[in-house]
Structure 1
């Protein structure tokens, strides 16, 4: 069966932030497999080179761009360099993020600033710089990686949930401001996904039992579970979809 042309993104150019490992790396792989030229971003050039090689390297249309997504001038220079070296960006995936678990009363000022800068400010900075170019061209797709915690929270992760809730509303604000210029901005909200960063939680039998019992699908999510949602939102099939967050959580947000 031939893929419907509405889902064809062959030849598009995409930037995925925080893509040297984990969810970002899986999303980048999905875009490569869909025929996109993909730019991997992170701060560690060595890690990016390894990640790019795993995806086939330059022969597969995989490039790297090492810059700090929390630094405004670095972002501006980085996006300019990407568009000069690789070409105009059609797709931006704001995936860079971090977690810092601690009771709210013990959360330090420095830790708060770090998690806000990484999870929220980065999406604003990279989104704004990319959108300046997309709006001039009259088209573009921006997908912000939100979270199940954009809607709900557990003890010990209040700052993380605050950033992901704000990212949901930033997604809607980007939609409102940039929609008239032909840009669609949406979010993907992963549930509990098994990655190297969540490995300690997966191996915690009590916590894993809770996750499986709380999730109608009865399991942890896998990084590949997120790819279909991204490909849909990045494709012409979603040209009239904007300001939405598509939760890929095995049904957890729907069950008490």
Structure 2
């Protein structure tokens, strides 16, 4: 325990904390925490499967902190979200199971296909006004597509770059405002990430020396991100969403090639 504490308080631990803060801010605002977190952790020498496990723990814990705040402030009804969270959680466990049996190359191919598909969806729907002005309006499309949260959960549990963005897009398609979509996404990410994390923990590939400082940074960053979202303009988001999807696709393609 003493060795772990020294590792958390070291320069390396502070670097991981900073990575967690930055990744969570971008993750909450634009659903692209993996755009920062995964390459940053790989850059400091953390193996891919350990990186994914750290990502799941950090995102799950930070999501839980925002879920707690949103529930206590009665901004989101927990009872309303529980069925979707259950589906996302089942998807997260399934994704973690597949990730431990598939190579990094295969996971990158899957990620690329998913991100390109959603990139096309965002471009198509931006023309018809996918993003509402940032306020707290509820969705008008009450139909529940269980398969979408389940497959997003699988993707998130197994790899995950852009999974929050996929959830945000799902809620935008259901006519929620961007702010509300981002808030609901925290519930989905908590369910899929925590369920996947427990599978990785059982599998024995969690490194607490990496996971704790990143998670603490993610908690701080997630609350900062939620404070910033109300100041974002709808036009900015319409421009940035396809740009972020494109950058994530480039990142995954680079990983496949190199």
TM-score normalised by structure 2 residue count: 0.30
The structure, 1 or 2, with the larger RCO (C-alpha pairs under 8 Å, 6+ apart) is: 2
TM-score normalised by structure 1 residue count: 0.30
Q: Which has the higher helix share?
A: 2
Q: Which has the higher strand share?
A: 1
